Each structure stands twice: as C-alpha cells, then as structure tokens.
Amino acid sequence: MNNLYFIFLCICLSKTSSATDTLLSSQNITDGKSLVSPGGVFELGFFSPGISKSRYLGIWYKNIPVKTVVWVANRGTPINDTSGHLLINTTAGSLALLNKNKTVFWSSNTTKETQNISPVVQLLDDGNLILRDEKEGDNSESYLWQSFDYPSDTLLPGMKLGWDLRTGLNRRLTTWKSPDDPSPGDITWEMLLHNYPEPATFIAGKEVFRSGPWNGELYSGKPPGALPAVNFSFFADEYEVYATAGMVNKSALGRMMVNRTTANPGTSPVYYYRQYWIWSEEHRNWTLYAGYPRDPCATYAKCGGNGNYISQIPSGDQDIYIKVSGAELGGKDDKWRIGVIIASAVAVILAMFLVGYLRLRRRKNLKCTQTNIEEQKQEDLELPLFDFPTIESATNKFSFNNKLGEGGFGPVYKGTLIDGKEIAVKRLSRSSGQGMIEFRNEVILIAKLQHRNLVKLLGCCIQGEEKLLIYEYMPNKGLDSFIFDEMRRKLLDWPKRFHIICGIARGLLYLHQDSRLRIIHRDLKASNVLLDREMNPKISDFGLARTFGGNQTEGNTNRVVGTYGYMAPEYATEGQFSVKSDVFSFGILLLEIISGKKSKGFYHLNHSLNLIGNAWILWNRGRPLELIDEGFGDSCNLSEVLRCIHVSLLCVQQQPEDRPTMLSVVQMLCSQSTLPQPKEPGFSSEKDLVEGEFPLLNNEMSSNGLTITLLKAR
Ligand SMILES: *[C@@H]1O[C@H](CO)[C@@H](O)[C@H](O)[C@H]1NC(C)=O
Ligand SMILES: *[C@@H]1O[C@H](CO)[C@@H](O)[C@H](O)[C@H]1NC(C)=O
Ligand SMILES: *[C@@H]1O[C@H](CO)[C@@H](O)[C@H](O)[C@H]1NC(C)=O
Ligand SMILES: *[C@@H]1O[C@H](CO)[C@@H](O)[C@H](O)[C@H]1NC(C)=O
Ligand SMILES: *[C@@H]1O[C@H](CO)[C@@H](O)[C@H](O)[C@H]1NC(C)=O
Ligand SMILES: *[C@@H]1O[C@H](CO)[C@@H](O)[C@H](O)[C@H]1NC(C)=O
Ligand SMILES: *[C@@H]1O[C@H](CO)[C@@H](O)[C@H](O)[C@H]1NC(C)=O
Ligand SMILES: *[C@@H]1O[C@H](CO)[C@@H](O)[C@H](O)[C@H]1NC(C)=O
Ligand SMILES: *[C@@H]1O[C@H](CO)[C@@H](O)[C@H](O)[C@H]1NC(C)=O
C-alpha cells in the first residue's frame, strides 16, 4: 500500500515537474508541451488565437486566468497542423520551428559566433526567451539571441523600445492584424532617431502621434506626475537609444501594447492605439491604466485619413520641455566685463607690440631664401617669392573691400593674380606681436607641410618692414562663419560636419605625427579652420606653431600664446604645451561644431558653467543629446554624434596624460570600438579657476576669440 502510494506520488511529481524552463540541444518542444519560467510567471508553447485553427508558437502569462499572449514567433507563418516542434539547430546555433515535413516555419537570427558552443534555450521570469551558451551562464551581454529583441505587439517591463546602433537593430511594436491573426498589422510604435529621439506611432506608414522628446524626467507629452505606477525611462548613448516602461511595484503585472482599441464605445468613441494595461488582482482582469493618443483629434477616425498627419503631427505639450542650452547658461550683464576685457586685451597687445618692435629693430630684414635664415640647414625651400607690387595690385592696394578678415597678427586680403588665380594674402601688421621669429617659423613650417587638410602656402613676400604670406584662397572662409551664424549653420548638416571633424583630426594628426617635423599648433580654433569650395576643412595659421626635433613632445614657454576658451589648463596656467594641449583645443572645437555654441572662455559671471561644464553635466545625467545643434534637422546620425561628444569629452580631460593622442582620436571617430569613460574635464566651471592656481591670468581676459600673447611672469 505504502509502495503504491509512493509510486503514485512519483508520477504526480514527475507530471508537475515535466514543464521545465530550459531546452537542451538534444531536446525539442512539440505541440502540447511547453516551457515554463522558473517562477511560473510565463509559459512558452503552441496556441491558436481567437477562432483560428492555425498553430503558433508564443509566450503568455502562466498564472493568470485570461490568456494573454505577449510574444509570437511565427507571426506570419502559421502551421496548419499539430506537427510543429521547436528545437535547437546546433549547426547554425539557432532556434528553429519545424513541422513534420521538416519545413522551417520560423528561425531565430543568431548573428554571434556559434562555433564551439553548447546552446541552450531558457524562458525567464520577465518573459524573455533566450538562447545562450551553456558555458556563459546567465549574462545578458552574451545571449546569442533573445525574444526581447524582436517584440510583437507588447512591451514588457525590461524590454527596450528602440535602437541598438551598433547592429542597426530596431526594436518596435507592431499590432496583430486581428484577434484571430497575429501577423503584423498596420500600426507600429517605434523610436524615431531625430536630434531628440522620441517614440512615434505610425498607421500604414503614416506618422500619427509622437510622444514628445524625453526631457530627462519624462516625455514632454506626458503631464508631470501622471501615471505614478509606471516607471518610464529613456536611455541614449552612441551605442543604444531606447525607451522602457517598467512597473514601480515590481511584483505587479503590467504591459504596454499597440492595438486599435475603442475606449469609449457609443456616440463619441475614442481610439487608443497604444495602451498600458495593469493586472488587477482584485477584479481578476486587465485594467486600462493609460491610453495614447488621448487627443481625440489625434485619432485616425476623427481627423480622417486625409493626409493631414505628415503636416500636423499631434505631439506632447512642448511647453513642459525646457531645453538647457550652453549659451543660456552664461551671464547676461557682461557689458562692463567686455569693457575690461577689451582694455586688458589692448594693453597686452600694446605690450607685445613694444617687445616685438624692440626685437625688430635689432634684426635685419629677412628674406625667404634659405641663405638668409640662420640656424637652418642648407635646404631649398622651393618657396616662390612674390614681389610687392604684384601683391599690391592683386589686392587693389590692400583695399578695404578686399579685406577678408583679421587673422592672428594681421589682416587677410583677397587677391587676384594677373592669370586669374585667387589668393589670400596675410599682411603681418607692423603693430602686431609677430616678429621675425614667428614669421620665419611660419614660412619654413608651412612650406614644408603638405596635407589636404592644411592650408597651402603659395609663397611669401618681404619688402622693408612689410611681411606678406600668400596662401591658396578659401572661398568659404572660416568654420566659425558657419557654425556660429544663425542662417549659415543650416548649410552644414551633420554629414558635412562629420566630414569636417574627421578632416581637422587628420590634419592635426599629420602635424603631430606624420610630418617630418613634430608640430604643435597651439592656436587651433574655429576661425583657424578654413573651408574650401567643397567644404573640405584646412587648418591655417601656423605662426604660433612650434617645431621639435625627434620625439620631443613637450615644452615650456614663457610666452603663452593662444585663444581663451580653447587653451588647455596646463598651458594657460603653467605655460606647458604638448600635443595633448592641441588635443584639448580639438575637443573644444568638436563641442563647438556639435553644439553650434561658442566656448566662451574661462570667465563667466554667476559662477556659471561654460561649454565644457555644460557638456560634462549633460553627459553625466545621460542627456548628451541636449548638446546637439538644432540646425542639423533630421540629418544627424545619432551614433556618430554621440561618439563625437564622447571623444570630445575624452579630449578635454583635466590631466594631459588622460587625453588620447590624435592617432587614437582618428581611430575612435572611425570605429565602433568601446570608448573609456571620460574623467572630469579641465576648466569646466569658474570655480576651478578661483580655487586653482592661475598665475598668468590674474586680470580679466579676453573671451572674444582673439589670439593673445602673454608674457609669463617669471
Ligand atoms: C522530440 O523529442 C522526443 C523525445 O526526446 C523524441 O522522441 C522525438 O523524436 C523528437 N522529435 C523530433 C522531431 O526531433
Ligand atoms: C497545410 O498547408 C499545406 C501547404 O501550406 C497544404 O498543402 C495542406 O493542404 C494544408 N493542410 C491542411 C489540413 O489545411
Ligand atoms: C540548421 O542550420 C543549417 C545552417 O543554417 C541548415 O543548413 C540546416 O538545414 C538546419 N537544420 C535544421 C534541422 O533546421
Ligand atoms: C508533407 O509531405 C507530404 C508528402 O511528403 C505531403 O503530402 C504533405 O502535404 C506535406 N505537408 C505539408 C504541411 O507540407
Ligand atoms: C532575420 O534576418 C533576415 C535578414 O537579415 C531578416 O529579413 C529577417 O526578418 C530576420 N528574422 C527575424 C526573425 O528577425
Ligand atoms: C525605473 O527604471 C529605471 C531604468 O530601468 C531604473 O534605473 C529605476 O531604478 C526605476 N525606478 C523605479 C522607481 O522603479
Ligand atoms: C504590489 O503588487 C502586488 C501584486 O499585485 C500586490 O499584492 C502588492 O500589494 C503591491 N504592493 C504595493 C506596495 O502596492
Ligand atoms: C485589440 O482591441 C480589440 C478591441 O478592443 C480587442 O477585441 C482585441 O482583443 C485586442 N487585441 C489584442 C491582441 O489584445
Ligand atoms: C474588470 O472587472 C471589473 C469588475 O468585474 C469591471 O468593472 C471592469 O470593467 C473590468 N475591466 C475590464 C477592462 O474588463
């Protein structure tokens, strides 16, 4: 009797434990069998929806009385008998759904390396069906495949709506055709990759509703404090952009789904295309917690399918959405400050003039022939000498109308040679700080450098105290004239800007590493990047560059030369410059190109943040997208932009040794590799300056982008 009872118990136990959560590669699941998640929350098996007789493989809640299917494998390819079975194809390392004739009705796309693995399938308690290598354990990063990446019409807590930018995977919801047919219907909900990504609802390919961009706390379309039971969140970096909707009470059941549901049947029906349902333990049914869109005019039925959706897309209340821009973070009453800045800048320039003038008097005039340049080896520069009258007539006697702008140490004129060739002439002003040393440096350096991203020196001209440099003419002028101009910024969409960024990086890499001489530019900024007819960037103004022989990469100078807002902390405060101080300036330039905002320099009223500080804060709050220039329109490749922001923050790190070299920068810009997390940047707020030592700049300094030379007081 006891024995019999024991046997009976054994049968019972084996019956109840026959449902397992794991499928091994030697096993299969036939129609009638199922997988049940360890906690008994979800079940995977075969079912027939509504009145349909077809068989589908799907996942539903195990422990609620209302059969609620959350995922379907073979949505559009039903099996018309009960011979379906799911197994692991060990050759391909994938999941396959076959019938008795071995016809494949559905299979998982496994893209990872599948050699030498023992794949197992498991249904988890969050409803995720995963295929993983038995040896890897339960590490979500190493899943070979997961059903959460291929949603049907339901978004469960833990699922992501949005993009994996590395693989191009777009996780989006699609309605069932009808309650009897799970094949993809005409309503979708997916993440749009704009400057400010936001989920949007589409009907038959037409956009009908946007949730409004995520503002850091909620979607602008959602009133603050609404839906306290649901934890909406949003995530974006250069690898992923997605939204999630979890339950605040983790043990409660909730799901977001797309379906055309009439919530108010009768005289004034309201259609909801998307609903959040919460399981009511009390009523033992699903309760509609939220429905979207709620605006009756946003429904297809009321506004009609007259095409007025592509022009008037109902969206969230934009007033709630407050964008923090770098420019607005600056002080407002800067007038007196600008006065002081200009006065001190003038004083500095005058001092430099005096120094330069005294030096000049002690030196003979320099000619562009090698023999006249002492200390240099005998070497043919092959640099054409122009005579002064030629240049004078080419520039209309340096007429005001020909003036292109004011470069470092002198005006630049446009000229046209007799043969029609257009040139740019830099006239080193006698009152400038550029003495013979700088001039000679510039001439020799530029003549030797040949790179498509460096401006080309055509020749020089010296007459008396007149020193002229003749460059190729750049019709599109400086990068600053685009990115900081309300109208012209629109001409630079993201692909063009990315092209410019990569060009500048390559040009700088050449200066640092590839050229025969190792050159540190020391004054890289937007106005020193010129654009040719095809918008190719060319770095200009090497007057301040320094050469080094061999591997010398650092120097210390008594003369700090550069532009505030671009200078690395160690250079501005200690006079120490290196390739890494150029990298810092490149990082600033990158931020400016992305944001369209000027790095205003170190000094701000109200101890407010500057461009770097703003970028750093937004990055750490997971809101880097708010840095992006609105002028991009929809042109931006989010992955690229975010990668550029990431790289820029690596470049402006406080410690020079933490910053990457330009070689790494070029590699990082062009690859998908994982980047290190940036550390705190230098000069992110005025506080840094007040607390830190700042021996050189104890006066108000220029923030207007002028190149300035200072004498170090030691
Ligand atoms: C499924 O598994 C059962 C038991 O392991 C086995 O008898 C059957 O042949 C398998 N069916 C298929 C189609 O592999
Ligand atoms: C099932 O489908 C196949 C082809 O897809 C068809 O040949 C067959 O007749 C169908 N069987 C039933 C019972 O409908
Ligand atoms: C397994 O996958 C391989 C490669 O994709 C394919 O050739 C083979 O037919 C599959 N086997 C089964 C049983 O589906
Ligand atoms: C399976 O194969 C048999 C003969 O090989 C054929 O008669 C039958 O229609 C096939 N069934 C399906 C569903 O393809
Ligand atoms: C598998 O990949 C192919 C091609 O990339 C795609 O067309 C198909 O939809 C994918 N299937 C699933 C289930 O994702
Ligand atoms: C909301 O979700 C986010 C992301 O999944 C998570 O980090 C956070 O802890 C959740 N908050 C609550 C209150 O559940
Ligand atoms: C959370 O949800 C569970 C299941 O619905 C319920 O029993 C429990 O009371 C809830 N907890 C709170 C704090 O609401
Ligand atoms: C979609 O909504 C309709 C109408 O409310 C309902 O009958 C149907 O069951 C819903 N479909 C799903 C898959 O829940
Ligand atoms: C859930 O059940 C309650 C009580 O029976 C009922 O009032 C309510 O309308 C039901 N909700 C839905 C969505 O069916």
Selected residue with higher pLDDT from 359 and 26: 26
| Any atom of ligand 2 within 6 Å of the Cβ of 80 | yes
Q: Are 272 and 293 in contact (CB under 8 A)?
A: yes
Q: Angle, nearest 10°, between helix axes 436-448 and 335-361?
A: 90
Q: How confident is the model at residue 708 (pLDDT cuts 50, 70, 90)?
A: very low
Structure tokens at 617: 């804060």
How confident is the model at residue 680, as a pLDDT?
A: 85
- Choose among 269, 167, 338, 387: nearest CA to 704: 338
Determine the distance separating the centroid of ligand 5 and the alpha carbon of 618, expressed in angstroms.
Answer: 36
Q: Which ligand 4 atom is at minimum distance from the Cα of 79?
A: 13
| Atom number in ligand 5 closest to CA 108 | 13
Asked, as a colleague might, if the bond just before 119 is cis with ω within 30 of 0, I would say: no
Q: List, for residues 295-316, the tens digit of each pLDDT value.
A: 444 333 344 333 332 723 344 3
Contact predicate 637/494, CB 8 Å: yes
Ligand 7 center to 20 CA (angstroms) = 27
> What's the confidence (pLDDT) of residue 105?
96
Best CA proximity match to 651, nearest among 526, 552, 505, 538: 505
Mean pLDDT for 121-126 is 95
**Ligand lying nearest the CA atom of residue 254:** 7
296, amino acid identity: P
Q: What is the mean pLDDT of residues 264-277?
A: 75
Whether residue 447 is predicted with pLDDT greater than 80 in this model: the reply is no
Q: Identify the pLDDT of residue 675.
A: 87
Mean pLDDT for the stretch of residues 158-165: 93
Reported as a single tens digit per residue, the pLDDT across 474-495 is 988 899 999 988 888 888 889 9
User: In 586-604, which positions are buried (b, 16+ CB within 10 angstroms) versus exposed (e)?
Assistant: bbbbbbbbbbbbbbbbbbb
For residues 602 and 702, give the distance between their C-alpha atoms in angstroms, rounded to a whole number. Answer: 9
The closest of 505, 677, 474, 658 to 590, measured between CA atoms, is: 505
424 vs 713, which has greater pLDDT? 424
Query: pLDDT band at 689, cuts 50/70/90?
Result: very low
- Rounded to 10 degrees, the C-alpha dihedral 216/220/222/224 comes to 60
Beta bridge mates, 562: 708
Enter the tokens of residue 305: 């399918």
Burial 393-412 (b: 16+ CB within 10 A, else e): ebbeebeeebebeebbbbbb
Residues with catalytic annotation?
Answer: 523
What percent of the chain stands above pLDDT 90?
A: 33
Cα 638 to Cα 34: distance, rounded to the nearest angstrom: 41
Output the pLDDT for position 621: 84
Phi first, then psi, for residue 217 (nearest 5°) are: -125, -30
| Residue 64 CB contacts under 8 Å (≥ 6 apart), including other chains | 253, 279, 284
Q: How many CB atoms lie within 10 A of CB 548?
A: 15
Identify which of 207, 187, 204 has the alpha carbon closest to the alpha carbon of residue 272. Answer: 187
Ligand 4 interacting residues, C-beta cut-off 6 A: 99, 101, 103
**Secondary structure of residue 485 in the 3-state scheme:** coil
Largest CA distance in the chain: 123
Please state, in angstroms and rounded to a whole number, the distance separating the CA atoms of residues 244 and 392. 67
**395 Cβ contact partners less than 8 Å away, ≥ 6 residues apart:** 402, 413, 414, 415, 425
Q: Whose CA is nearest to atom 8 of ligand 5?
A: 109
Highest mean pLDDT among 426-430, 601-605, 627-631: 627-631
Mean pLDDT of the chain: 75
Higher-confidence position of 673 and 144: 144
Does residue 333 register a pLDDT over 60?
no
- Determine the pLDDT at residue 18: 54
Mean pLDDT of the 636-645 span? 87
Assess contact for 599 and 588: CB atoms under 8 A: yes
Higher pLDDT, 453 or 329: 453
Instruction: List the residue whose alpha carbon is closest to atom 13 of ligand 7.
Output: 249
How many Å lie between the centroid of ligand 7 and the Cα of residue 40?
18
| Model pLDDT for residues 162-215, shown as the tens digit of each residue | 999 888 899 999 999 999 999 999 999 999 887 667 888 888 888 877 776 665
pLDDT over 60 at 6, yes or no: no
Number of residues in the chain = 714
Q: Output 550 or 382, whichever has higher pLDDT.
A: 382
Q: What integer is the mean pLDDT of 694-706?
A: 34
What is the spatial distance between Cα 710 and Cα 714, in angstroms, rounded to a whole number?
12
Mean pLDDT value of segment 528-541:
91
With a 6 A CB cut-off, is 246 part of the ligand 6 pocket?
A: yes
Q: How far is the CA of 597 from the centre of ligand 7 (A)?
A: 49
Give the ligand at the shortest distance from the Cα of 80. Answer: 2
The model's pLDDT over 362-388, given as tens digits with 9 standing for 90+, comes to 333 333 333 343 334 334 455 677 888
Distance CA 400, CA 445 (A): 29
- Residue 658 — very low, low, confident or very high, per pLDDT cuts 50/70/90? very high
The CA 80 to ligand 2 mean position distance, Å, reads 6
Which residue among 98, 101, 102, 105 has the greatest number of ligand 4 atoms within 8 angstroms of its CB, and so is best to mutate? 101
Q: Vertex 365, ends 360 and 367: CA angle to 5°?
A: 135
Q: What is the CA radius of gyration of the chain?
A: 33
